[in-house]
Amino acid sequence: MRIVIAGGHGQIARRLERLLSAGGHEVAGIIRNRAQGDDLREAGAEPVLMDLESASVEEVAAVLQGADVAVFAAGAGPGSGAPRKETVDRGAAVLFADAAERVGVRRYIAVSTMGADARHEGDDVFDVYLRAKGEADDHVRAKSGLDWTILRPGTLTNDAGKGLVRLEATTGRGSVPRDDVAAVLAEMVETPATAGLTLELVSGSVPVTVAVKDIAGN
């Protein structure tokens, strides 16, 4: 399969690129900084230079043309202010979903966050972030042209992945290594029966492959 990842230089995205390319897939990662290209090539992905904050839906659609799966893993990141939560975490996510639908890339996986809620209240940057992610999730879920899955990990860590998770509609608060988030995403790429599900993810006791297959059967 050909998989296009938005936010291709992100920590989760680069882990995912390695897993997918090792599995024999063709992977492209969208980046905004040309200097990041070598990192993507090292991970086995083709770098695509594009700024999702200023690109048109037609430009993004051209990148997605011919893809089998679109994965949104972009984010403004820690330290960014409220305006970029709106332009990246909401705006770029909406743009990427619109472009995928336009060119018929039905399989769409979005990396969201636990607590994302369009109705979340508050004015702090993190409040804006949770609202932006919730609005993006709602936009994706409203699209009949997408076979979407939304993954909402708990607190992300750089601990070595154990391959053991809890993946459910509601897990409760917890943390999860980025390694294991990437492993779940890679499994979801191979498991289209997870379409239509919004899932929370934390560390647990179930092997990744089992957790994804079990939730896909519910």
pTM: 0.94
Catalytic residue IDs: 129
Q: Are 87 and 75 in contact (CB under 8 A)?
A: no
Residue whose structure tokens are 């936010």: 7
Does residue 201 surpass a pLDDT of 70? yes
Q: What is the pLDDT of residue 160?
A: 97
Q: Per residue in 5-56, pLDDT tens?
A: 999 999 999 999 999 999 999 999 999 999 999 999 999 999 999 999 999 9
pLDDT tens digit string along 118-161?
A: 889 888 989 999 999 999 999 999 999 999 999 999 999 999 99
> What was the pLDDT predicted at 24?
96
pLDDT at 78 over 80: no
pLDDT cut 70: percent of the chain above it: 100
Residue 27 half-sphere exposure toward CB, CA atoms < 13 A: 29
When pLDDT is cut at 50, 70 and 90, the band that residue 218 belongs to is low
pLDDT per residue over 53-71, tens digit each?
999 999 999 999 999 999 9
Per-residue pLDDT at 70: 98
What is the per-residue pLDDT for 217? Answer: 74
Question: Where are the strands (E) in the chain, listed by range?
Answer: 2-6, 26-31, 46-49, 69-72, 107-111, 147-153, 155-157, 164-168, 175-177, 197-203, 206-207
